[in-house]
Amino acid sequence: MKVYYAKVIITIMVVLVLLSWFFTAEFGAYDTQYLRYLSLLFGSLGLLFIFIQFVLVSRIKFIERGIGLDRLFRWHRIFGRTGFFFILLHAILITYYRLIEFGELFPNVFIFAGVIGLAGFAITASLASMYKKLGLAYEVWRNIHLANYLLFPVVLIHAFYHVREGTLFFYFLPLLAMLFVAVVVYRLIRIIMVRANPYQVTEVRQEAEGIYSLFFKGKPFDFNPGQFMFVQLLRNGRLSSAHPFTISASPTAGLLSITPKKLGDFTASIKDTNVGDQAFIDAPYGVFSFLNYESGEPVFIAGGIGITPFMSMLRYIKDERPDMKVTLFWANRNEKSLCFREELALMQEEVPGFRAIMVMSDQPDWQGEKGHVNAPMLLNYLETIEGKEFYVCGPPAMTRAIMEELKQLQVPPGMVHYELFEL
């Protein structure tokens, strides 16, 4: 699905909610009725946005294709926070209305269900937003999100109890409930399908300090160089959570591989994986591949372990398009992080149009480029940006900085592609 169509569909859903509210509201002579119906509008928009954020992270293939899961994850955060904001406004207005009209807050269990839903969303949203500051593990972050799948039906029950039969909202809420069930069923089926086709670890290879490659064999699947997959490892009888990793192998290779760097609890344990351990792989995802664009000569800009999608692309180019001209800028703190160093050197001999520029920010004795990748450095090596297509992957701060440098060079936005994951 293209970004344009996704935005159109979401806009239509919002308009349908607004129309349903408009034809449902019956403003009476009492001013407090406005509070009631305004709270209904906010609550309905909140429910819709919370539902949409479930859809965005459900890895639905026809939605993700053409948009990219990294962008869907960013939308997910926006819709989740906006949905919670609307539900909070609903709670404030309806509480004020009930105090004025009836002098009570919790006359029945259905209203209490709404309070539980609101409190649950507040807790999960707060913990999910601050999990890095709180030092929570990825697994905890993931389980916090899964709790929302239990809270949403509770809130739907609360809403349905308060909708009058025969109104448009009376039909909207069951439709929303059915769509939610469809999303949950899709996710469960996807899990069953992934578990039915286990992969096996065939090699664990150290590439550099704190960087290891895992190689897998199993049922082959088609993917573009630069895409990624979700991996669960079954080690010593314990199944890990699903973690996203770029596929570092080329589609032309016989095996799949990932190359994580030690950045957290799970990646720190990669080196402890043994040959023969099982893995469950859900793939492929992402649109970050030069095969999806090819409007100009590719220029790859990597930061640290952000080299992995480019290794997949470069390996593919070496095997399938050795006459292609391509430039790689790779920024690291020091040469200890240079995985694939020998392979890249050999690749420059085998692919005449390929050159790699290594940039070190924290190594004074480095013989090559020092500092950070910036506009003057890019222009010095490329001579012109005309006919160039830029691909950027690295830590979020570095990626944003490179985007600003490319703006200074007046690179057209349509010629810049990036993948930005911030979990």
Domain span at 149: 3-194
Is residue 111 domain-shared with residue 188, that is, in the same domain? Answer: yes
Alpha helices in 130-244 (DSSP H): 131-134, 138-161, 168-195
CATH number at residue 247: 2.40.30.10
pLDDT by residue for the chain (423 residues), tens only, comes to 678 889 999 999 999 999 888 887 776 555 677 888 889 899 999 999 999 999 999 999 889 988 988 899 899 989 999 999 999 999 999 888 888 887 777 677 888 888 898 898 888 888 877 777 777 777 777 788 888 999 999 999 988 887 777 677 788 889 999 999 999 999 999 999 999 999 999 999 999 999 999 999 999 999 999 999 999 999 999 999 899 999 999 999 988 999 999 888 888 899 999 999 999 999 999 999 999 998 889 999 999 999 999 999 999 999 999 999 999 999 999 998 899 999 999 999 999 999 999 999 999 999 999 999 999 999 999 989 999 999 999 999 999 999 999 999 999 999 999 987 665
Identify the pLDDT of residue 172: 85
Is residue 281 domain-shared with residue 302, that is, in the same domain? Answer: no
d(CA 393, CA 301): 7
d(CA 123, CA 127): 6
Identify the pLDDT of residue 315: 97
Residue 268 one-letter amino acid: A
Identify the pLDDT of residue 1: 67
Order of strands across the sheet with 388-393? Answer: 369-370, 354-360, 326-332, 297-303, 388-393, 416-419
Is residue 297 domain-shared with residue 188, that is, in the same domain? Answer: no
Is residue 15 domain-shared with residue 161, that is, in the same domain? Answer: yes
| Residues 155/117, Cβ–Cβ less than 8 Å | yes
Closest CA to 423 of 243, 161, 228, 279: 243
Is residue 334 domain-shared with residue 243, that is, in the same domain? Answer: no
Is residue 324 domain-shared with residue 250, that is, in the same domain? Answer: no
Residue 143, C-beta contacts closer than 8 angstroms, at least 6 positions apart: none
Is residue 188 domain-shared with residue 203, that is, in the same domain? Answer: no
Is residue 63 domain-shared with residue 187, that is, in the same domain? Answer: yes
Q: Report phi then psi at 166, rounded to 5.
A: 95, -15
Residue 137 one-letter amino acid: A
Residue 139 one-letter amino acid: E
Identify the pLDDT of residue 108: 77
Which pTM does this prediction carry?
0.89
Q: Report phi then psi at 87, rounded to 5.
A: -65, -35
Phi-psi region of 26 (alpha: psi -120 to 50; beta: other; left: phi over 0): beta
Q: β-strands 238-239, 388-393: how paired? A: unpaired
Identify the pLDDT of residue 384: 92
Residue position matching structure tokens 């954020």: 53
d(CA 333, CA 352): 28
Identify the pLDDT of residue 358: 96
Last residue of a domain, one of 167, 194, 221: 194
CATH number at residue 311: 3.40.50.80
Is residue 227 domain-shared with residue 149, that is, in the same domain? Answer: no
For the chain, how many structural domains are there in total?
3
Is residue 59 domain-shared with residue 162, that is, in the same domain? Answer: yes
Is residue 311 domain-shared with residue 415, that is, in the same domain? Answer: yes
Greatest distance between any 2 Cα atoms in the chain = 83
Closest CA to 290 of 366, 217, 393, 218: 393
34-41: long-range pairs with CB below 8 Å, 24+: 35/93, 35/94, 35/96, 35/97, 35/100, 36/93, 36/94, 36/97, 38/93, 39/89, 39/90, 39/91, 39/92, 39/93, 39/94, 39/97, 40/90, 40/169
CATH number at residue 157: 1.20.120.1770
Other CB atoms within 10 Å distance of the CB of residue 15:
10
d(CA 117, CA 79): 17
Last residue of a domain, one of 194, 221, 252: 194
Is residue 343 domain-shared with residue 364, that is, in the same domain? Answer: yes
d(CA 230, CA 279): 10
Closest CA to 357 of 301, 411, 295: 301
DSSP string covering 82-145:
HHHHHHHHHHHHHHHHHHHHTS-S-SSHHHHHHHHHHHHHHHHHHHHHTHHHHT--HHHHHHHH
Last residue of a domain, one of 285, 307, 327: 285
Q: Is 25 exposed, middle or buried (0-12, 13-18, 19+ CB in 10 A)?
A: middle
d(CA 17, CA 29): 24
| Residues 352/342, Cβ–Cβ less than 8 Å | no
